[in-house]
Structure 1
Amino acid sequence: MGFKSRLKIESLGLLLATVFYAVAGVVCFVILATVDYELVHIGLMGIISLATAYGLFKRRGWTLWSVFVLFFMNTAFSLAMLYYTMGGDILIDAAMILYLVLTWVATIYLAAKRKKLEF
């Protein structure tokens, strides 16, 4: 019995979106713990990202709504970070661009495949 059949994975794209939101949530909490506890918005993004990853894994109907909330939050956060750090730190700029692109790709994919989120 393979790993794929144990988790009942039917779509690789859905699995990748789940992993993206789970990793993004964990990274948000790591940043919150290591940089500054006053960055409440990063903690909120982490909570919603982990809840979205859970909803995608369990295929809950409310997940698409949390994906759209994260889409707007992540886009605003990434664009603000890019605006204020442009050219100052190339690693942060590259990470924000990657985060922005992955957020957009995951949102577009999940919006197109929204029927797979229902049992």
Structure 2
Amino acid sequence: MLRAAEERKFQPGCVIFDSWYSSIANLKLIRTLKWHWCTRLKSNQLVDPDNTYNRSVSEIEIPPEGRVVHLRQYGFIKLFRIVHSDKEPEHWATDILDASETSQKRLFNKDIFCSRCWHFFASKPID
């Protein structure tokens, strides 16, 4: 789908997707396309927050403004923890290292983004 978007000259401000698609290969592909990304990470995703050793994202301290960490085999990312009242916390990450808490909240509105993607792809047949 990402390659199809590139072929159709789609230029997203940010590609937003769920943890199911957050493989290192997908993150590297998006970087190759020179796009930004924002995705949810599983709580056991390993990152290095302080240049010592890898730990799961659920084990590290993440302030409200986010934290820059190193994702093995990828590079530096910015990590956010979103806590909903009665649910487990969600861990979101982006390659936009200067992202703020406010900008991340705008990006988390996946319904608007997915709706726009659907209309874009549904309106054009795949060759």
Does the pair score TM above 0.5?
no
The TM-score normalised by the length of structure 1 is 0.30
State the structure with bigger RCO (CA 8 A, min sep 6), 1 or 2: 1
Higher strand fraction (1 or 2): 2
Higher helix fraction (1 or 2): 1
The TM-score normalised by the length of structure 2 is 0.29
